[in-house]
Structure 1
């Protein structure tokens, strides 16, 4: 899932606050009163329970990505870690669901105007159209189970931090990259650490952390549903410490 880009946390919070509220024309919009984030930005991090995601989120990442996470953990005085169970299965389920639903959404145009699609996107949608229905059903069942497990985790922590991508930003047009010594395609693997989170709708903010040897690297601040204010507070704190580009 994409979200707004901004030059500062304040700009991002402003955008989010404007977007809050019930939209009667949106069938999946949650009926909740707005919780303005701007007034909470400078409340600090005292009392927040923060942990670093280990296991899946510590494997397959290049040293630079893990170093960015370590910088954030040090700035936040985080010494604990937590394991998100079955994250690798969550990524697989996310692929099945997004490919199937994307294919269903665009099926008519895939048939009538296939040449107008980006080739990589078109091939993914075509593959999604061939996924058996029982795979999709099983992926949705897993999605619900996985979401329940994350809810349990957030009973013990407020925020989880993890790499956004496994490596520095690839060059424009770059098709392959190396992860853990293995050459893989760029497009399907940049979401290695984001897909297991976005497909259950968790609020996540990726903060760009300065690096002395490369382009900035993103670190995810992950919260339980409807806790956007918390991740914006932490991002404001990191911004005040000069870590965020």
Structure 2
């Protein structure tokens, strides 16, 4: 692993945007064949944006920062693939996702679209249509999904910033497997307009980055109400960058026990212990009914995902990845009464978290039960049992996104092996708190996102 130099502040770039874009495009051309993170490279658009910055026609706090987005975000002029074969037949998008527009308004430069699991129903990063995404730290291992290309592109040093989505763990899993920082905001915090949905009740969009300061800067730039997303109309921006140096301060921190401390590899818990020790957190709490929350999340995911794709399942079943198609078909046959009960339970579960956050501000938990498995691996051992790998990588992430809580995913490297991830979980709308903790862990050297040594 190579060292990861900090991103220079925008003010010091001295009109070097064209050079930065040129270097980014060269690196993508040279290294992406190894990683397979990109599905589209928007070189002409990137060069135009860089010229505008260098000519002084554009500026902003992210001036000259290259970024790429999971290919479920609408990019004007490109069909929105969502990792599928079927969507390639769609007409090109007429406008950009508002999150892309907001990053560009802050001076960031879009350089392309990224590989992902088909229709975001994936934790592995294996895609039968666009090819599997490879983990930059070990190319024969999974990048994690479904935001595989986002995690891999940042870890490989192809871009310092990327956008992904997270329904059941699709930011936190690739962040853990690839060893980068990620943020799953509070449900409803960032606009989901002009992105291809998976499960409207559970979908979140958020950033990946090699540093917490860049992660927070991107998040701040993307905040704000959006009338085109009914879930994103009530919250005004709450800047977080200014609070990154505050450290843990008086934040009350606890480690999730019970469900979140059993079944996985010992190293997953060692990573949490290292983070807890750095924060001086010795308290353990139990999150009630986490296993049932995961089951309820599955019911809602399968049912809503199936409803979205029902016409495609009827007309073009052979064009799906069979592993995705079969789960969607099963979801289509699910009784509505089960799904209604899952939604009622979700409200109860959120109330239990509200009670927990009266006594704590931050909860720590593992992101995944293991390090990145090898590509092609189909099972994992959890709780002494051999289980199907694809659905069970998200065993620790699903109960958290089910409650819509903000999470900073922090990467931890132990013993020189592949990275592990720790979830820094906050109360609703407290992204500032989870980012403060992530920044402290980065300063202390406990969490880090080095660029993988690909050459």
TM-score w.r.t. length of structure 1: 0.97
Please list the CA deviations of residues 172-213 of structure 1 after superposition, one character each: whole Å capped at 9, or x if unmatched. Answer: 222112123221111100000000010221111111101115
The answer to whether the Cα contact below 8 Å between 2:227 and 2:233 also exists between their aligned partners in 1 is: no
Q: Aligned match of 1:105 in 286, 308, 316?
A: 308
Residue 12 of structure 1 pairs with residue 215 of structure 2: yes
Distance 1:176 1:213, change over 3 A: farther
Q: Is the 8 A contact 1:51 1:78 kept in 2?
A: yes
Deviation at 1:120, TM superposition (A): 1.2
Q: Which has the higher helix share?
A: 1
CA distance in 1, matches of 2:376, 2:416: 22
Residue pair 1:96, 1:136 contacting (<8 A) in 2 also: yes
1:76 corresponds to? 279
- 3-state SS, counterpart of residue 225 of structure 1: coil
Q: Which runs of structure 2 are paired with 1:32-47 in the superposition (5 Å)?
A: 32-47=235-250
Query: Secondary structure at the residue paired with 2:219?
Result: helix
Superposed structure 1 runs of 4+ greater than 2 Å apart: none
Gaps of 5+ in 2: 1-165, 172-205, 449-455
Of 264, 288, 293, 1:61 maps to 264
Post-superposition offset of 1:119: 1.4
The match for 1:191 is 394
Aligned-CA RMSD value: 1.0
User: Alpha-carbon deviation of 1:163?
Assistant: 0.4
Asked if residue 95 in structure 1 is aligned to residue 303 in structure 2, the reply is no
**Total equivalences in the alignment:** 245
In the alignment, which residue of structure 2 is the partner of 1:205? 408
Highest RCO, 1 vs 2 (Cα 8 Å, sep ≥ 6): 1
Matches of 1:10 and 1:79, distance apart in 2: 27
Structure 2 length as normaliser, TM-score? 0.53
Partner SS for 1:5: strand
Give deviations 1:48-77, integer Å, cap 9, x for gaps: 100000010011121000000000000000
Q: Which whole-Å CA distance do the structure 2 matches of 1:117 and 1:15 have between them?
A: 33
Provide the C-alpha distance between the structure 2 equivalents of 1:73 and 1:61, rounded to a whole number of angstroms.
18
Work out the CA distance in 1 between the residues paired with 2:436 and 2:217: 13
Give 2:255's match in structure 1, choosing from 49, 52, 55: 52
Classify the secondary structure of the residue corresponding to 1:52.
strand
- How far residue 91 of structure 1 moved from its aligned partner, in angstroms, is 0.4
Q: What SS class does the counterpart of residue 14 from structure 1 fall into?
A: helix
Q: What pairs up with 1:109-188 in 2 under 5 angstroms?
A: 109-188=312-391
* CA shift digits 1:60-113 (9 cap, x unpaired): 121000000000000000010111000000000000001100001111111111
Query: Distance between the aligned counterparts of 2:319 and 2:234, measured in 1?
Result: 38
